[in-house]
Amino acid sequence: MRPDELNDQVDSRATPLPEEARVEEGGEDRRAEAREILRDSEQRVDEAAGGPRPADAARENRPTDETAGG
């Protein structure tokens, strides 16, 4: 993600939702929390994109008679 896109998303995520604002304690660094959440999300997406496709595992673990239409 480009830095300007990350900043835009951080700004958006750092703005508390009304229900979040009601329970805030006041000491939170919402920008830091938002940045961490977005980086974690990007990392999970990158890992998922590089991993095996779910259909591959399903095909490998089924008995042959189920996959042959039998």
| Residue with more model confidence, 21 or 67 | 21
pTM of the model: 0.47
pLDDT in tens, 47-62: 888 877 666 566 666 6
Every domain of the chain and the residues it spans: 3-67
* Contact criterion met (CB below 8 Å) for 13 and 37: yes
pLDDT value of position 40: 92
DSSP string computed for the chain: --HHHHHHHHHHHHSPPHHHHHH--S---HHHHHHHHHHHHHHHHHHHHHS--HHHHHHHTS-HHHHTT-
pLDDT in tens, 6-42: 788 888 877 878 877 777 777 778 788 888 888 899 9
